[in-house]
Amino acid sequence: MPVIEAFILTIITSLIVIPFLGVQGKGLLTITTVCLVAILSSIPAIAALSGEGTETIFAGTSVTGEIPVRIDALSGCFILIINFTFLTGAFYGLHYMKHYREQAANISVHCISYILVQSSLVSICAIQNSILFLFAWEIMAVGSFLLVIFEHQKQETIKAGINFLIQSHICIMLLLTGFIWVASRMNSYDFKAITAFSTSYSLLTGIVLFFCFFMGFAIKAGFVPFHTWLPYAHPASPAHISGVMSGVIIKIGIYGILRMLLLIKSDYTLIGFIILIISVVSGVYGVMLAIIQHNLKKLLAYHSIENIGIIGIGIGLGSIGMGTGNNALRVLGFTGAILHTLNHSLFKSLLFYAAGNVYQSTHTMNIEELGGLGKLMPRTAFLFLIAAIAICGLPPFNGFVSEFLIYNGMISGFQNANLSFLSLLVFSLFGLVLIGGLAILCFTKAFGTVFLGSSRRLFHNFHPSEASVGKLVPMFVIMALMTAIGVYPAFFIHIISAPVSLFSNGFESHSTVFPLGASLPMISRCATGFIIFTAVIYFIRKRIAEHHTIMSGPTWGCGYVAPNSHMQYTASSFVRSYRKLAEPVLTIHKNKKEVKGIFPKVGMHETHPYDKAEAILIDYPLRQLKHFFNRFTFLQNGNPQFYILYGVVFIVMVIVIPVLGSALTTLIHFFNQL
């Protein structure tokens, strides 16, 4: 109780004080508040992961009823992930926002929104009253919208923000439908009523209720085909907001899905099958679109969809394990999903922070205009490379561990599987392999084009340089935690076993993971050895190079004596073979001028990718709706006489309709007496 009061008091105080401070004071108070909120909420979260969950029941009002605040191991795990990402985002953002010092009022709104989003996300993980849950969700949605539209003077930013806000409220409508359905039958807003409702009615009712909630949470998480807001909101936001949004804001959708799996008792096997199929499609489709993007932040945004797909694969496998009684499948699926939730929040926020360094150094996110930044921004290039290795699921970093668990879950599912389940597992295994391979292709393109080679653009008024120490420190902290998970996976898996055990009524989850996982200590030793070996080779090379004179001169011109930066591979040409194979599935518009002559002066080939799911599910319905309403444009013809006529008709209707209604009521009453 004192922790909750201190939590609320800290937030209210900072929100009141921030508008009256200078720009530097706003930033410092925001960081202080974020730290205090993180500390206060992490205390019960850590206790919950240790097996000491907390529950506080507030009296509430006649409208809300009792307001339970419960923090179990699942809530605790997500609260810690949220707090860590918001802390790194706040310290990075403090230095990132120095470029916008002149926008004091705008920064006030930004700082207030940042605090509100963190506190609302923490509240969502703890509150188990439907009305208060939706209230916190609305604060999170509106606060996120304000964070996205920080650069509201840009038209594309406003469009992305409005798109995000509209789809966020479609998500809220779906959640509201589910909560109203439960409350109307059970006369309670407590989350426990959801469990009572699902056990009181048929399995079909439980499945329908689950997917009502699932669609709402899937919009926030970014599952295909509910993902169309995400590739616009991420690139439009400041870099630290993109990192927080991809790192934890979309993960609250994952929390909601996992929470509903705990609450709703239904046919978990069927639910798992459907989630698994949607997740494989999301992962493959997301990475396929990521490869052909030209905007670095949009490329990373589509990789968020891909990784949500990987998390969903783990959830699907775990749900099937719950339904079939396969403990190994259940434990490995949910452990892989929750660990990948943590892992993705780390390497994706690191990637967005690195992209923010590139943007503020070069003032562009167009991959085709970049190149050679590894020489000018070596630390940013190194951090981006580490995060790229991790997101591709390669050892010795954290992405490998969570994907390794999910792969093991699939393999364990092959035992005693019937034909339909076996076919689904093969499909999922092939999809996960394809996701990994395409991710390597994508980040080879991204890192090579941005950081290697020579610059493809002349910077006339400025010279790209390395980011400040203030930006790099939180990035190195993230990298250290990523490395720790890759080198010591057993420690983190043991922590995650607490929330995983909730899905099996207290079954000790790590006892199933480690028998498979006699390989985990070996992974730790191999990862440690690889890092030590790399460090030794680096220092040996450095020591040898110190005693040699470095000479510079022109490289061999390959028979061509007039080289320039345009002779390099572009991002598009690097993936041309893939693009040719993927064109039947994706929508790619081309614009080109043929190259003629031995020494051509004019030549151009542009590709403009577009999301086919957005074209079918968003653009086509909107066009049809616009076409329908256009049929009524004759009503707005600009003639004042018609507008006066509309007013007269309206007044007549206001007078006549109540009179007719009264007369009709009298007539009905008369006939009833007869």
Distance (Å, whole) CA 424 – CA 276: 8
Q: Using CA atoms, how far apart are residues 115 and 244, in angstroms rounded to an integer? A: 12
| Alpha carbons 17 and 111: distance in angstroms, whole number | 11
- Whether residue 225 has a cis bond before it, omega within 30° of 0: yes
Q: Are strands 65-71 and 54-61 parallel, antiparallel or unpaired?
A: antiparallel
Q: Is 248 in contact with 84 (CB distance < 8 Å)?
A: no
Question: Using CA atoms, how far apart are residues 298 and 352, in angstroms rounded to an integer?
Answer: 10
3-state secondary structure 361-390: HHCCCEHHHCCCHHHHCHHHHHHHHHHHHH
User: Does residue 2 sit in helix, strand or coil?
Assistant: helix
Return the H-helix or E-strand segment holding 160. helix 155-186
Q: Positive or negative CA dihedral for 158, 161, 163, 169? A: negative
Q: Is the peptide bond before 19 cis (omega within 30 degrees of 0)?
A: no
Structure tokens at 599: 């020494």
Q: What is the DSSP letter of 555?
A: P
Structure tokens at 635: 């009503």
Q: What is the pLDDT of residue 312?
A: 96
Could you say which DSSP state residue 619 is in?
I
**pLDDT of the residue at 1:** 55
Burial class (CB in 10 A: 0-12, 13-18, 19+), 448: middle
- Beta bridge mates, 67: 58
Report domain extents, the chain: 1-203+226-266, 268-544, 632-673
The pLDDT, as a whole number, for residue 593 is 66
Cβ–Cβ < 8 Å for 421, 395: no
Write down the pLDDT at residue 560: 56
Place of tokens 């890192």: 447
Query: Tokens 């096997």 correspond to what residue?
Result: 269
Nearest to 485 by CA among 400, 406, 593: 400
- Say if CB 512 and CB 494 are below 8 A apart: no
CB of 180 closer than 8 Å to CB of 189? no
Place of tokens 């990862």: 527
Nearest alpha-carbon partner for 237 in 89, 388, 452, 81: 89
Q: Residues 390, 347: contact at Cβ < 8 Å?
A: yes
The closest of 415, 412, 393, 411 to 403, measured between CA atoms, is: 393
- Give the Cα separation of 131 and 63 in Å (integer): 9
Going 503 to 504 to 508 to 509, the CA torsion angle's sign is negative
Conformation bin of residue 99: beta by default, left when phi > 0, alpha when psi is -120 to 50: alpha
36 Cβ contact partners less than 8 Å away, ≥ 6 residues apart: 10
d(CA 399, CA 167): 30
Classify each residue of 563-580 as buried b or exposed e, where b means 16 or more C-beta atoms within 10 Å of its C-beta: eeeeebebbbebbeebbe
For the stretch 139-146, contacts whose Cβ atoms lie closer than 8 Å and that sit 24 or more positions apart, written own/partner, are 140/116, 140/249, 140/252, 141/165, 141/168, 141/169, 141/171, 141/172, 143/113, 143/114, 143/116, 143/117, 144/113, 144/117, 144/168, 144/245, 144/249, 146/109, 146/110, 146/113
Report the distance separating Cα 200 and Cα 265, nearest Å.
10
Helix axes of 398-413 and 519-546: crossing angle, nearest 10 degrees: 150
Task: Dump pLDDT digits (tens) for 248-265.
Answer: 999 999 999 999 999 999
Q: How does DSSP assign 566-586, residue by residue?
A: GGSPPHHHHTHHHHHHHTTTS
Separation of alpha carbons 256 and 74, rounded Å: 10
Cis peptide before 396 (omega within 30 of 0): yes
Neighbours of 24 (CB within 10 A): 11
pTM for the full predicted model: 0.90
575 contacts: CB under 8 Å, gap ≥ 6:
291, 292, 441, 442, 445
Please name which of 417, 422, 407 lies closest in space to residue 516, comparing C-alpha atoms: 407
The neighbouring-strand residues paired with 58 are 67
Residue ranges, the chain, pLDDT below 50: 506, 508-509, 514
Give the C-alpha separation, 324 to 371, whole Å: 52
Q: What angle do CA 37, 38, 43 make, to 5 degrees?
A: 105
